[in-house]
């Protein structure tokens, strides 16, 4: 699905031995590094800033919301206005448009900190039932605040990077072992990129929270369930989670998602006042997980869910994160947690789909799966429904090896 003029997600790519910054448009990329070098960028905030010579988006993002809006408007002008230097001169256009298929996408950000939330009620309920039984499925705190843990940013990789099967300590029928995980799972998530920092000691008010978000991407929080199960109490996830997290290469600007805002579903009990905002919203983004073994010709769909399956809003997650005075920095990522809905077709990880590994599913090749095998490919994708057409997130792909 091509990227529209109303989307214009940012990414970083290698062209030859050089690293450039660009925006996806159609099946191509508008090379902003070249546009700037050739004098086509006409956005006051970017004058003499040299943000396009950096090998990540952090410097660009750090210029702030006014700069983001200027650049987005300038890019839309370059790509669509008959009087722009790219539309007036086909040679100019040919110089700065590159095919997405001809470049290698890179991790688009320097990610200082990564926090992973747990914001889908259906996911928390099912996982809680599987791990602790129905009576203790949702802890008392879950309905009062967006629960999260601090993840590991060093092992966040861009789509297409190999996913190495981790080893760890876990229980088996024959007792405790240290071995490669037998319960490797994916988690369908979205990530929100912090665009404006807050000072340490200064909490972000909920009505200001969305102004701190630059954009969104897909995020696969790979998980080793056997390792996770043995280690997670009392301090939470550690080696069962921190070996790899894959993100999609394109960062969809939060500005592109304005048309996809939908009212946040009522929350009972009401959150405490600092997490309430009368204009708070969720987003109408349709997510999908596709799976393919190395024997399959075509992938199958494992999950279809929607951003509205998340109980907590992006603003509530960000507000809660900063509410103790914790400082968020440009390029930090907040993961939503597994985006699962109530339907059995909307389960965003194998832990739910196979009911804790007890219900294998069959593949068209006659193979079956409980958890991921070497050679399996998991592809996340997403499309938001905007008033001016679909906002596509691209793909987040990982192959197990």
- How far apart CA 152 and CA 317 sit, in angstroms, is 18
Q: Tell me which DSSP letter residue 135 carries.
A: G
Record the tokens describing residue 353, joined without a space.
């789909």
Contacts to Ca ion from residues 186-215, by CB under 5 A: 187
How far apart are CB 310 and Ca ion at their closest, in Å?
Answer: 12
Residues 6 or more apart whose Cβ sits within 8 Å of residue 85: 40, 78, 92
How far apart are CB 174 and Ca ion at their closest, in Å?
Answer: 29
Contact by Cβ (8 Å): 106, 12: yes
Q: Which of 28, 221, 231, 352 binds Ca ion (CB under 5 A)?
A: 221
How far apart are CB 103 and Ca ion at their closest, in Å?
Answer: 30
Q: Considering the complex, state which of residue 41 and residue 124 has its C-beta at the smaller distance from Ca ion.
A: 124
Strands (E), 86-222: 97-99, 104-106, 114-117, 148-150, 156-158, 162-163, 167-172, 175-180, 184-185, 188-194, 213-220
String of DSSP letters for 231-264: H-TTT--STTTTT-EEE-S-BEEGGGGGGGEEEP
Contacts to Ca ion from residues 264-283, by CB under 5 A: none
Q: Considering the complex, state which of residue 28 and residue 221 has its C-beta at the smaller distance from Ca ion.
A: 221
> Which region, judged by CB under 5 A, interacts with Ca ion, from 22-30, 180-188, 225-233, 262-270?
180-188
Q: Considering the complex, state which of residue 105 and residue 147 has its C-beta at the smaller distance from Ca ion.
A: 147
How far apart are CB 140 and Ca ion at their closest, in Å?
Answer: 21
Q: Considering the complex, state which of residue 186 and residue 392 has its C-beta at the smaller distance from Ca ion.
A: 186
Q: Is 352 in the site for Ca ion (CB under 5 A)?
A: no
How far apart are CB 352 and Ca ion at their closest, in Å?
Answer: 12
Contacts to Ca ion from residues 150-179, by CB under 5 A: none
Contact by Cβ (8 Å): 117, 19: no
> Which region, judged by CB under 5 A, interacts with Ca ion, from 55-63, 140-148, 184-192, 195-203?
184-192
Q: Considering the complex, state which of residue 116 and residue 352 has its C-beta at the smaller distance from Ca ion.
A: 116
What is the SS3 assignment for 121? Answer: helix
- How far apart CA 37 and CA 96 sit, in angstroms, is 10
**Nearest residue to 324 (alpha-carbon basis) of 219, 198, 186:** 198
Contacts to Ca ion from residues 109-148, by CB under 5 A: 116
Record the tokens describing residue 235, joined without a space.
């301090």
How far apart are CB 151 and Ca ion at their closest, in Å?
Answer: 8
What is the number of alpha carbons within 13 Å of residue 388 lying toward its C-beta?
10
How far apart are CB 245 and Ca ion at their closest, in Å?
Answer: 9
> Which region, judged by CB under 5 A, interacts with Ca ion, from 101-109, 137-145, 216-224, 296-304?
216-224
- How far apart CA 84 and CA 280 sit, in angstroms, is 38
- How far apart CA 339 and CA 336 sit, in angstroms, is 7
Q: Considering the complex, state which of residue 59 and residue 126 has its C-beta at the smaller distance from Ca ion.
A: 126
**Nearest residue (beta carbon) to Ca ion:** 221
- Size of the residue set binding Ca ion (CB under 5 A): 3
What is the SS3 assignment for 112? Answer: coil
Q: Considering the complex, state which of residue 59 and residue 121 has its C-beta at the smaller distance from Ca ion.
A: 121
Catalytic residue IDs = 123
What is the number of alpha carbons within 13 Å of residue 323 lying toward its C-beta?
15
Q: Could you list the residues that contact Ca ion (CB under 5 A)? A: 116, 187, 221
């Amino acid at each position: 699905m091509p990227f529209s003029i109303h989307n214009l997600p940012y990414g970083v790519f290698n062209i030859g031995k050089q690293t450039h910054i660009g925006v996806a448009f159609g099946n191509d990329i508008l090379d902003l590094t070249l546009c700037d070098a050739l004098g086509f960028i006409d956005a006051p905030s970017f004058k003499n800033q040299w943000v396009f010579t950096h090998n990540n988006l952090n410097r660009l993002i750090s210029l702030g919301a006014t700069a983001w809006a200027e650049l987005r408007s300038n890019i839309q002008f370059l790509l669509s206005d008959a009087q722009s230097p790219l539309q007036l001169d086909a040679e100019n256009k040919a110089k700065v448009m590159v095919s997405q298929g001809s470049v290698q996408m890179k991790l688009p950000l320097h990610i200082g900190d990564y926090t992973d939330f747990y914001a889908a009620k259906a996911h928390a309920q099912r996982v809680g039932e599987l791990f602790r039984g129905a009576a203790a499925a949702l802890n008392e705190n879950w309905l009062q605040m967006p629960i999260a843990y601090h993840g590991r940013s060093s092992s966040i990789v861009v789509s297409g990077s190999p996913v190495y099967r981790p080893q760890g300590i876990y229980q088996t029928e024959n007792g405790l072992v240290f071995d490669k995980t037998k319960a490797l799972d994916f988690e369908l998530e979205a990530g929100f990129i912090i665009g404006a920092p807050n000072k340490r000691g200064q909490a972000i008010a909920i009505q200001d929270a969305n102004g701190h978000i630059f954009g969104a991407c897909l995020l696969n929080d790979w998980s080793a369930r056997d390792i996770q199960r043995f280690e997670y109490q009392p301090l939470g996830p550690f080696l069962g989670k921190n070996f790899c997290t894959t993100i999609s290469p394109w960062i969809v600007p939060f500005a592109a998602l304005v048309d996809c805002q939908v009212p946040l579903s009522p929350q009972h009990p009401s959150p405490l006042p600092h997490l309430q905002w009368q204009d708070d919203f969720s987003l109408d983004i349709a997510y999908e997980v596709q799976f393919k073994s190395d024997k399959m010709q075509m992938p199958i769909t494992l999950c279809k869910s929607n951003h509205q399956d998340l109980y907590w809003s992006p603003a509530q997650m960000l507000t809660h994160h900063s509410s103790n005075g914790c400082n968020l920095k440009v390029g930090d990522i907040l993961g939503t947690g597994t985006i699962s809905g109530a339907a059995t077709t909307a389960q965003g990880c194998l832990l739910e789909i196979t009911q804790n590994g007890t219900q294998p599913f069959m593949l068209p090749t006659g193979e079956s799966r409980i958890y991921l095998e070497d050679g399996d490919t998991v592809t996340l994708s997403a499309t938001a429904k905007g008033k001016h057409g679909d906002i596509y997130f691209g793909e987040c792909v990982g192959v197990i090896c």
